[in-house]
A and B are shown apart, each in its own frame.
Chain A
Amino acid sequence: MARAITPRRKILTTAAAWTIALIIFFPIYWTILTSFKTEAQAINDPPLFFAFDWTLENYAVVQERSDYMRFLWNSVFIAGGSTLLGILVAVPAAWSMAFVPSRRTKDILLWMLSTKMLPAVGVLYPISLLFVEFNLLDTRGGLILVLMLINLPIIVWMLYTYFKEIPGEILEAARMDGARLREEILYVLTPMAVPGIASTVLLNFILAWNEAFWTLNLTAANSAPLTAFIASYSSPEGLFFAKLSAASTMAIAPILILGWFSQKQLVRGLTFGAVK
């Protein structure tokens, strides 16, 4: 029997959903709002919601003081590069785990995931030393490598669950039709997994974009992405709240827009396999 949906129930559920959504969205809303205030208004008590003088001054100052485009480009390059590299490594890995599993496959998957539980700071020292040794400090290449490695477990897991949904018989058919391994992955598996690969790419792009531990610790001037751009406005002295907010807004805007347009794909990606 279908559950009865009374109008009262509908109103309550809708109200609850909106409340939760607004609470979650509030920090972002407040950041954007603050970015249009003056520094004095930004720390006004009680907080000002609407009655203030809207100004674009913060954006002008931020752009003047630091070159937004250079940070943006670094972010795009690092997030994009690490995601792409991750996919290239993860597709064959997920293929073998999904279609030719061994007795240890489950263990390997869990072990990979367990590395995500290690606090990043625990390996900061060895990784910094390696970066010094190989001259990777403050290079985009080095960051791409590190971000790829830390996100790899998630990429492999996501692809693995997608590949599991593809019937093995279709790959066997390709083998019978004369396809070698490379052709089987390139012409049959990958095109069939495009929706899954797309949501994996999106999610990992966002994760890499927002990553703030390694990007702050391993960069200085040359390869600093938008996370460093924001951090440079967080200062213990002086009044910088409005400018910090402006910088944050500029940093999150691209990913927010990307997420908005791809939300359908993202939701599908995160619930795939769970809901059929």
Chain B
Amino acid sequence: MGQIQLKQVTKSFGDVEVIPPLDLTIEDGEFTVFVGPSGCGKSTLLRLIAGLEDISTGAIEIDGKDATSVVPARRGLAMVFQSYALYPHMSVRKNIAFPLRMAKLSQAEIDKRVEGAASVLNLSDYLDRRPGQLSGGQRQRVAIGRAIVREPAAFLFDEPLSNLDAALRVGMRLEISELHERLRTTMIYVTHDQVEAMTMADKIVVLQAGVIEQVGSPLELYRSPRNLFVAGFIGSPKMNFVTGAEAAKHDATTIGIRPEHIDVVESGGEWSGTVGVAEHLGSDTFFHIHNTGLAETLTVRAIGDVSLRHGDEIHLSPRRDEIHRFDADGLRIA
């Protein structure tokens, strides 16, 4: 079991309020991702749940029990840190066994669980090495092993993949997702990378300046962002925003359209401009279009390798039913 509830939680450092009153429920077994730009308070929020920081006011409940003033060691949560935070003076075996030793389990039980975790994480051959002798990916696996052996109520991940190179990151992302499928334990995952958020989450919590901008499934956020911030943050490349007369045509202050929802047409089309930079990925091509008279640049995604060059004229046709409308306050118009 691992339901976590935050009730009117606030956090201030001195006079600076980093988290204004905030309510959030994380259901048992859910994979929740906190996402937002750096400094948005997502790591602070995770540390409040972990108990590594004390909340200023409000309450935290874990499985319906008040945990507000419970020390981290007694909250039954496990955490994986960005820096891995392995114990450098202990072997991999001792690192993974440490939480079990603290829980005063019998040696036989400890050995059994450590072997089990090591085989799940492909660490069996490395049990007698020190963390310093492992690669980044292996260290991350040890950190995860140390978290899973004690069968916590929930796992907390604090940007666990940001120290890995791109290829390894994709691999570890899959491994963590698979781990969640297998264990079905509550996981809270902090990242600034919206791709990680979209691919892993059951539920995404978008944060900005300590405030929750929107909570929802990845596709809910993609399809109906509640405001301009979420619209711009979720999706890659970023959504195009157009204001002025073109927006007024749709009875909105701002309209948003994703690069993948603008079609490149031979001639005609509602918008036109000249091609700036073209990014060829093979499967897709991203064009940055200038001189449209709308926004500074528009980004358009074309499927496949389209042979338009720098300076060519391009005709565009946005899909009408994919246009997002926002009012003067930046809120979505239904």
Contact = CB atoms under 8 A, between A and B. Distances in A.
A associates with B: yes
Contact of A169 (B83, B103, B146): B83
Majority DSSP secondary structure for residues of A touching B? helix
A257 B98 CA distance: 40
A180 B88 CA distance: 19
Contact of A177 (B71, B88, B102): B102
A108 B83 CA distance: 31
B79 A173 contact: yes
A191 B89 contact: yes
A172 B89 contact: no
A177 B146 contact: yes
B73 A172 contact: no
A187 B85 CA distance: 15
Contacts of B71: 175
A187 B95 CA distance: 11
Nearest to A194: B89
Contact of A176 (B72, B82, B83): B72
Contacts of A169: 81-83, 85
Contacts of B85: 167, 169-170, 172-173
A192 B98 contact: no
B102 A172 contact: no
A175 B52 CA distance: 8
A178 interface: yes
**A-side interface size class:** 10 to 19
Contacts of B81: 169, 172-173
Contacts of A170: 85-88
A169 B146 CA distance: 15
Contacts of A192: 87-89
B139 interface: no
Given A191-B89, A192-B89, A179 B83 contact: no
A170 B139 CA distance: 14
Interface string A204-225: 0000000000000000000000
B50 interface: yes
B99 interface: yes
A193 to B, nearest CB: 10
B62 interface: no
A175 B78 CA distance: 10
A178 B88 CA distance: 18
Contact of B73 (A167, A176, A188, A191): A176
Contacts of A179: 73, 98, 102
Nearest to B99: A177
Interface in B41-91: 50, 52, 71-74, 77-79, 81-83, 85-89
Contact of A175 (B72, B89, B103, B156): B72
Contact of B52 (A172, A177, A180, A183): A172
A149 interface: no
B87 A175 contact: no
A174 interface: yes
Given A172-B81, A173-B79, A173-B81, A178 B87 contact: no
A242 B82 CA distance: 65
B150 interface: yes
Nearest to A167: B83
Contacts of B156: 176
Interface in A136-181: 167, 169-170, 172-180
A172 B79 CA distance: 9
Contact of B99 (A178, A180, A191): A178
A177 B110 CA distance: 14
A183 B102 CA distance: 8
A188 to B, nearest CB: 6
A176 B70 CA distance: 12
B17 to A, nearest CB: 19
Contacts of B73: 175-180
A125 B232 CA distance: 74
A175 B73 CA distance: 5
Nearest to A103: B14
Interface string A49-68: 00000000000000000000
Interface of A: 167, 169-170, 172-180, 183, 187-188, 191-192, 194
22 contacts: A167-B83, A167-B85, A169-B82, A170-B86, A170-B87, A172-B72, A172-B81, A173-B79, A173-B86, A173-B87, A174-B87, A175-B72, A175-B73, A176-B52, A176-B77, A177-B73, A177-B99, A177-B102, A177-B146, A178-B103, A179-B98, A192-B87
